[in-house]
Amino acid sequence: MTVEDRRSDDGPETDSLKTDSPETDPFGTGSFEADSFKHEALRRRLQADIARMRPDEALPTERRLAERYDVSRATARRALQALREDGLIRSVRGVGTFVSHPHVTKTSTLTSFSEDLRSRGYRPSAELLAAELVEADLHHATALGVDPGTTLHRIERLRLGDGFPICLETVHLSAERFPDLDESLLTGSLSEALQNTQGVRVVRATQQIRAVNVTGRQARLLGVKEGSAALLVRRTAFDGTGHVVEYGESLCRGDLYEFSLVVTK
């Protein structure tokens, strides 16, 4: 069913949300006296259904929810607003309300991007945008601990979850240390590829994170509007001997990516 099909109130209803039998329907006659109880019950009902739906799948309109569950439109509106605040759904003006993509949560534990995606139920992949040899400028030479002018691998990739763009990533590595990088290995986890093919294991990393707004090309690749919020993550990865393995900069969609850190005193 197309988005246009779902926009029309006169078209066929989506079967994603079904009422129970009269015996178990929480919105049957006399189920709840107060509208506030109906709002919370409807929110829980919709949340359970959303858990079985796919990202970007459309929900019924506010009016149809009200008719289907025999509640006021105000009750349906409050339930949908609560789900929006929880990040479970998103509304597009003039189009409809859709299931949100799960947020990718990055913790202080050292994990790869692919591992982070798998932990949220995504199938990770990468689209290789560029793989070239460049001379290290002062910024990248300092980050990698090499001399300016040193030959580096520059790898630019679009990181995907279930085929959906999440991060735009650029990684630099020493070409002297890694003279042969098979491009066929660059559509998955680079850390895993280096460990499996080069015997180099990342054991520690430092990260700097700041909020930015995406520009034209970045926005097109990430599938967002120009100026949308994003997180710029600068990451330096080290092996067990303390040598830098890679330096990367990842531009992550602000609506899909978040960091969760434990801070102690």
Is the whole model's pTM more than 0.85, yes or no?
Answer: no
- CA trace torsion 116, 122, 123, 124 (10° rounding): -40
Same domain, 124 and 40: no
The values of phi and psi at residue 93, to 5°, are -55, 130
Greater pLDDT, 122 or 190 = 190
Averaged pLDDT, 155-167 = 90
Helix (H) or strand (E) holding 82: helix 73-85
Tokens 């986890």 locate to 189
* CATH code for the domain in which residue 54 is found: 1.10.10.10
Q: Domain ends where: 40, 65, 99?
A: 99
Contact 230, 253 (CB under 8 A): yes
Predicted pLDDT of residue 111: 65
Instruction: Please tell me which residue, 73 or 26, carries the higher pLDDT value.
Output: 73
- Length reported for the chain: 265
Domain annotation covers residue 201: yes
The string of DSSP codes covering 96-157 is: EEEEPPPPEEEESS---HHHHHHHTT--EEEEEEEEEEEE--HHHHHHHT--TT-EEEEEEE
> Which tokens is 70 given?
């025999």
Here the tokens at position 195 are 């460990």
Judge whether 143 lies within some domain.
yes
**Domain of 147, in residue numbers:** 104-260
179 and 77 within one domain? no
pLDDT at residue 69, rounded to an integer: 84
Amino acid at 194: L
If pLDDT is split at 50, 70 and 90, which confidence band does 104 have?
Answer: low
Residue 152 falls inside a structural domain: yes
Buried b (16+ CB within 10 A) or exposed e, 51-85: eebebeebbbbbeebbeebebeeebbebbbebbee
Average pLDDT over residues 100-127: 69
Does residue 70 lie in a domain region? yes
CATH code of 219's domain = 3.40.1410.10
Mean of pLDDT over the chain: 79
Q: What is the pLDDT of residues 30-66, one digit of tens each?
A: 343 445 577 788 888 887 777 777 777 888 888 888 8
Asked whether residue 125 falls in the same domain as residue 73, the answer is no
Q: What tens digit of pLDDT does each residue of 216-263 get?
A: 999 999 999 999 999 999 999 999 999 999 999 999 998 877 766 666
* Overall number of domains in the chain: 2
Task: Identify the sign of the CA torsion 221, 120, 259, 242.
Answer: negative
Q: In what helix (H) or strand (E) does residue 205 lie, and over which residues does it extend?
A: strand 204-213
Say which residues have a Cβ less than 8 Å from residue 162's Cβ, sequence separation at least 6: 55, 122, 123
Residues 108 and 201 in one domain: yes
Q: Are residues 135 and 156 in the same domain?
A: yes
